[in-house]
Amino acid sequence: MKEYHKINTLWKRTEKGQIIEGEYSAPEFDYLKNAQWLWTEKVDGTNVRVFFHGGSILFQGKSDNSQLPSFLFARLQELFTVEKLRSVFPNDDKEIISNICLCGEGYGAKIQKAGDNYKPDGVDFVLFDVLVDEHLFLQRKNVEDIARKLGIDIVPIVGQGSLLELNDDVKKGMKSTWGDFMAEGIVARPLIELQDRRGNRIITKLKHKDFKKYKEYDALLSDMGGVSEDMWQAIKEEVEHPKSCNHHKCNDCNGTGILTDYRGYDRPCEYCNGRGFK
């Protein structure tokens, strides 16, 4: 069975897995950065594929070898029956659909660390795509119609805008539509579905946790009384583009990037801009 395609993060990553803001992971993202993109909330769960073919149903995870938790499998059996799927996807002389895949996320208790935030007393399924005959993804309005007819949830639309606006909103953090906690991130696609020259969908994602390191630096520098904009940019540059191995340790701060004044207060070392090396 066809696996759900990979969704690339908006930005490239360093060898350590840190995002590099400003360096798009695909040339199409750079070209379309000022276009309007549709944003849906990214759910922190496990990928689920529901196949309906020839009057039979098959439940699978992200890959054919993935194992779904038994309690999630039981919930899927409750949600999807042959009778219900046949009512939505007719297979008669007037309209024949040979292969349907409902792509979604299983979420809730015991699924990922944040599962209890979504549904502490059970698990559920939320739809985000419908694939027909392994090559055609339906438009959002059609996916919404299918979700309504099946009586299942669909990932909520949380915004619309450019990719830079998307970056800013995810960096600040957004409240989840499931409750009073931070959304994992956003999945974005152009308002008009597009493909690259290889026939791959143009779609991207961005997670709030990818910006966590900046919040940690903000908190540290705030405790130190703040730093100049130039010093902050220098620190930010080193976080995104580590070059420590090409520099010498700063002897003034002994490589710590921090100096302690006569009152016992710490501050970023002005001799190395708080980087610990020159």
Is residue 95 in a domain?
yes
| Main-chain dihedrals φ then ψ at residue 92, nearest 5 degrees | -135, -165
Is residue 277 in a domain?
no
pTM score, whole prediction: 0.74
Residues 262 and 153 in one domain: no
Is residue 218 in a domain?
no
- In this predicted structure, what is the pLDDT of residue 89? 87
Cα distance between residue 80 and residue 165, in whole Å:
37
- In this predicted structure, what is the pLDDT of residue 67? 86
Is residue 107 in a domain?
yes
Tell me the per-residue pLDDT of 219-245, one tens digit each, with 9 for 90 and over: 555 555 555 556 656 655 655 555 544
pLDDT band of residue 128 (cuts 50, 70, 90) is very high
Using DSSP's 3-state secondary structure scheme, residue 236 falls into helix
Average confidence (pLDDT) over 50-72? 90
Average confidence (pLDDT) over 211-215? 67
In this predicted structure, the answer to whether residue 208 has a pLDDT above a threshold of 90 is yes
Residues 247 and 173 in one domain: no
- In this predicted structure, what is the pLDDT of residue 245? 43
What torsion, rounded to 10 degrees, do the Cα atoms 75, 78, 83, 89 define? -30
Which secondary structure element, helix H or strand E, spans residue 79, and what is its range?
helix 70-79
pLDDT band of residue 211 (cuts 50, 70, 90) is confident
Residues 124 and 258 in one domain: no
pLDDT band of residue 248 (cuts 50, 70, 90) is low
- In this predicted structure, what is the pLDDT of residue 1? 67
Parallel, antiparallel, or unpaired: how do β-strands 8-9 and 56-60 relate?
A: unpaired
Residues 119 and 198 in one domain: yes
Residues 80 and 145 in one domain: yes
Tell me the per-residue pLDDT of 145-201, one tens digit each, with 9 for 90 and over: 999 999 999 999 999 999 999 999 999 999 999 999 999 999 999 999 999 999 999
- In this predicted structure, what is the pLDDT of residue 213? 62
- In this predicted structure, what is the pLDDT of residue 116? 94
Parallel, antiparallel, or unpaired: how do β-strands 204-207 and 266-268 relate?
A: unpaired
In this predicted structure, the answer to whether residue 212 has a pLDDT above a threshold of 90 is no
Is residue 25 in a domain?
yes
Residues 171 and 252 in one domain: no
Amino acid in the structure at residue 119: K
More confident residue, 173 or 267: 173
Residues 142 and 93 in one domain: yes
- In this predicted structure, what is the pLDDT of residue 15? 83
Amino acid in the structure at residue 156: P
Half-sphere exposure of 192 (CA within 13 A, CB side): 2
- The structural domain count of the chain equals 2
Query: Which domain does 231 fall in, by range?
Result: 224-268
Is residue 182 in a domain?
yes
Q: What is the mean pLDDT of the chain?
A: 85
| In contact, 3 and 62? CB cutoff 8 Å | yes
In this predicted structure, the answer to whether residue 135 has a pLDDT above a threshold of 90 is no
Share above pLDDT 90 across residues of the chain, in percent, rounded to a whole number: 61
Average confidence (pLDDT) over 125-136? 94
- The 10 Å Cβ neighbour count of residue 177 is 13
Residues 107 and 180 in one domain: yes
In degrees, rounded to 5, the angle at the alpha carbon of residue 207 between the alpha carbons of residues 123 and 204 is 100
Share above pLDDT 70 across residues of the chain, in percent, rounded to a whole number: 75
- Domain holding 198: CATH number? 3.30.470.30
More confident residue, 95 or 131: 131
- Give CA separation, 18 vs 121, 189, 206, 207, 236, in Å: 34, 23, 12, 12, 12
Residues 230 and 185 in one domain: no
- Give CA separation, 103 vs 55, 129, 138, 229, in Å: 18, 5, 11, 45
Cα distance between residue 91 and residue 187, in whole Å:
32
In degrees, rounded to 5, the angle at the alpha carbon of residue 55 between the alpha carbons of residues 50 and 57 is 25
Cα distance between residue 84 and residue 277, in whole Å:
65
Residues 55 and 122 in one domain: yes
